[in-house]
Amino acid sequence: MSEVKKNGEPLEDSQATVHKKEKHPPGLYLLFFTEMWERFSYYGMRGILTLYLTTAFISGGLGFDASSAAMIYGCFTGFVYFTPLIGGYLSDNYLGQRKAILIGGVTMAIGQFTLFSSQSRTALYIGLLLLILGNGFFKPNISNLVGQLYTKNDPRKDSAFTIFYMGINIGSFFAPLICGTLAENWMAVKEGGQVISYGYRYGFLAAAIGMIIGQLLFNALAQKYLGDIGKYPATKDKTGHVVENKPLTKKEKQRVTVIFILTAFCVFFWAAFEQAGTSLTIYTKDFINRNVGGFEIPVSWFQSLNPFFVVTLGPVFAALWVKLSKREKGDLTVPQKMGMALVLVAVGFLCMVGAVLQRGGAEDMTVKASVIWLIFTYFFHTVAELSLSPVGLSMVSKLSPPKLTSLLMGVWLSASFIANLVGGVIASKLDSFGHMQIFGGIAAVTFLLGLILLTVNKKLVKMME
Ligand code: GLN
């Protein structure tokens, strides 16, 4: 039934559309669950990878020393964000997003099974390589499909990507808990309560199963909820004829330049943010008082704080973007949101500076800083992440010329490629440079970059129009 005003007249067309448009299409939730399972798989295996690498062979691991393990971990987490450039290009020109997602998902499932199949270094390298390749096909294309559910400048886009981002984080919240518990408890061989041999392989099996569930779900329901979206490459029609081969206009080139500029700023955001898995974890282990009422919180549990905050704060942000977009002057601009994110990540690191000051430079390892500092750090980092990461996905989908959308999604993700490598180097200097210098230095650099971004906001917005 059509909507009517109180006096019985039908609503004006535009009003009715705006009203109806507040709801998100069901396809968003299909992509939400598909990505949730894929991220479950990714973060589940990533959560036990370092332990698997460094545990002795006889105890179910591969017996690498700590520095080789850090190197393998750093390269793996970096290169998974390099291959989206390749997967994005192939999808735009030859495959279309749906096929790329299938190829990527199946490749990653085989990768996880390879890790499960044998406790050997050969299986490790082949498995990681398959995961790196598969992610390249999967990640830029699933994100791109979210954008394609909406018209180019639909105001619901930022909110849609925020909801999608919550899916990512529900997966990454539960994954380390489930895969970790399988590896360290349920599938571990114990004697008198002591672990003799860990069951890491079963953690990888759980990751493989998660990936398969996501793929089954996606392929069974895509036709129903996505229709023809993402079936053909952006540059070709159903019959394979090229439809998009015009050179980019001046305006399009400007928009692509903005994507590159903002991606470059975000490298610094991710390099700071990714310290969660490295320097922040090392600091937590040694210098944060994890004792709460006689219970010692395991270091790895702090990894769940970020996804926990994303899932709890996500709805607030999704609603906030919609609300702001209804103001007369509209939503905050993308550079404003990202500039704020850089400032907030700096505030997070200032909390770590607070922790260092509280310890007062004590050599004594028994002098600990309060856990509150760390909780606030993760809180600010998550607020920052929510105003940068989903917003970035949304921005790429709005600014990209259609024939380059998946490739440019790959460009956006490649910020994390450089950031993981750079972030690893920064973290490795923690001891030689000192905690204050590293945490304070990161805060200063990101704060400054945030201010620069806020200053050039108008110029960038002009280029984006
Ligand atoms: N947590 C995000 C994800 O897993 C991070 C993406 C990124 O590093 N660019 O999708």
Bigger pLDDT: 4 vs 421? 421
Domain span at residue 297 reads 23-238+249-313+328-464
Decide: residue 121, CB within 10 A, 0-12 exposed, 13-18 middle, 19+ buried.
middle
Spacing, Cα 62 to ligand 1 middle (Å): 27
pLDDT at 19 over 50: no
The 3-state DSSP class for residue 369 equals: strand
300-333 pLDDT tens trace? 778 889 999 999 999 999 889 889 988 888 889 9
pLDDT at 213 over 90: yes
Nearest Cα to Cα of residue 409 among 163, 137, 178: 137
Crossing angle of helices 157-181/305-325, nearest 10°? 170
Determine the average pLDDT of the residues in 32-43: 97
- CA distance linking residue 271 with residue 313, whole number of Å: 22
DSSP category for residue 195: E
- State pTM to two decimals: 0.90
Complete DSSP assignment for 31-75: HHHHHHHHHHHHHHHHHHHHHHHHS-GGGTS----HHHHHHHHHH
20-31 pLDDT tens trace? 557 899 999 999
**Identity at 214, one-letter amino acid code:** G
pLDDT at 9 over 50: no
Answer whether residue 323 is part of any domain: no
Spacing, Cα 172 to ligand 1 middle (Å): 10
pLDDT at 150 over 70: yes
Answer whether residue 6 is part of any domain: no
* Tokens matching residue 87: 């997967």
DSSP category for residue 348: H
Average pLDDT of the chain is: 90
Answer whether residue 319 is part of any domain: no
Spacing, Cα 77 to ligand 1 middle (Å): 11
pLDDT at 14 over 50: no
- CA distance linking residue 181 with residue 195, whole number of Å: 13
Spacing, Cα 165 to ligand 1 middle (Å): 9
Answer whether residue 16 is part of any domain: no
- CA distance linking residue 310 with residue 306, whole number of Å: 6
Bigger pLDDT: 100 vs 55? 100
395-445 pLDDT tens trace? 999 999 999 999 999 999 999 999 999 888 888 888 889 999 999 999 999
Answer whether residue 90 is part of any domain: yes
The 3-state DSSP class for residue 387 equals: coil
When pLDDT is cut at 50, 70 and 90, the band that residue 10 belongs to is very low
Mutate to test the pocket of ligand 1, among 309, 389, 393, 417 (most ligand atoms within 8 A of CB): 389
Answer whether residue 4 is part of any domain: no
252-297 pLDDT tens trace? 999 999 999 999 999 999 999 999 888 898 899 889 999 999 888 8
Nearest atom of ligand 1 to the alpha carbon of 43: 4
* Tokens matching residue 433: 């440079």
Answer whether residue 5 is part of any domain: no
pLDDT at residue 76 in the model: 94
pLDDT at residue 201 in the model: 94
pLDDT at residue 244 in the model: 66
pLDDT at residue 18 in the model: 41
Nearest Cα to Cα of residue 253 among 386, 382, 110, 401: 401
- CA distance linking residue 273 with residue 412, whole number of Å: 16
Rounded to 5 degrees, φ, ψ at 228 are -95, 0
83-122 pLDDT tens trace? 999 999 999 999 999 999 999 999 999 999 999 999 999 9
- CA distance linking residue 458 with residue 335, whole number of Å: 9
Site residues for ligand 1, CB cut-off 6 Å: 39, 168, 270, 389, 413, 416
Q: Residue 158 belongs to a domain with what CATH number?
A: 1.20.1250.20
Chain centroid to Cα 261, Å, comes to 20
pLDDT at residue 21 in the model: 59
Task: Please say whether the beta carbons of 207 and 38 come within 8 A.
Answer: no
Nearest Cα to Cα of residue 349 among 392, 380, 313, 316: 380
Spacing, Cα 157 to ligand 1 middle (Å): 18
Domains identified in the chain, total number: 1
Answer whether residue 64 is part of any domain: yes
